[in-house]
Structure 1
Amino acid sequence: MRYIKDIPNQHFKISIYQWNNKYIIKIETGMFEQTYKIEEYEIANVEEIEKSMDIEFLEKVSARFSGMQDDFANTLHRNDVIF
């Protein structure tokens, strides 16, 4: 996997990689990450990916991270892994 660049963001670490004829967009916060893949031929250049990281999309990413946190905490409590 080849690192391409980071997209600056105050809430998340957003990185773009290239692998197996795909671009991989990795969005991280704390212990969680979300990964999105797009075929290289689907876009003209990496700047189109950067443009796609708009407010509406990142708000949904944030909501998904909140859901992931809740789901993980709930299973840990339910299974007596943490108190």
Structure 2
Amino acid sequence: MRFVKNIENDYCAATLFSANNKYIIKFEAGNLEQIYKVSELDVSGEDDVEEMLGDTFMKKVMQRFQEMHEDFDEILDSID
């Protein structure tokens, strides 16, 4: 996997990678990660990938992080 660049945004850490003819977008918030893969054939380049990550999508990513965090807390609480 090859590092392409960090993607600047106001929400979380986001990194763009390239591997096996795919762009891999990795979002990180605390101890959680979300990874999305996009075929290089579906976009014309890195700029298209960044364009996809608009405000609406990023808010959904953050909502998923919140849901993931709640699910994980629930699991941790159940083992106490």
Number of residues paired by the alignment?
80
Q: Which residue of 2 aligns with 1:30?
A: 30
Q: Which residue of 2 aligns with 1:43?
A: 43
What is the deviation of 1:11? Answer: 2.1
> Could you say what the CA RMSD is over the residues aligned between the two structures, in angstroms?
0.7
Q: Tell me the percent identity.
A: 38
Question: Within 5 Å, which residues of 2 pair with 1:63-74?
Answer: 63-74=63-74
What is the deviation of 1:55? Answer: 0.8
Distance 1:46 1:55 in 2: 17
Q: Which has the larger radius of gyration?
A: 1
Q: Which residue of 1 aligns with 2:77?
A: 77
What is the deviation of 1:79? Answer: 1.6
Structure 1, unaligned runs of 5 or more: none
Distance 1:23 1:11 in 2: 20
Structure 2, unaligned runs of 5 or more: none
* Segments of 4+ moved more than 6 angstroms: none
- Secondary structure at the aligned position of 2:41 is classed as helix
Structure with the greater relative contact order (CA < 8 A, sep ≥ 6): 1 or 2?
Answer: 2
TM-score (norm 1): 0.92
TM-score (norm 2): 0.95
What is the deviation of 1:18? Answer: 0.4
Which whole-Å deviations, capped at 9, do the CAs of 1:55-83 have from their partners, x for residues lacking one?
Answer: 11011101100000000000010121xxx
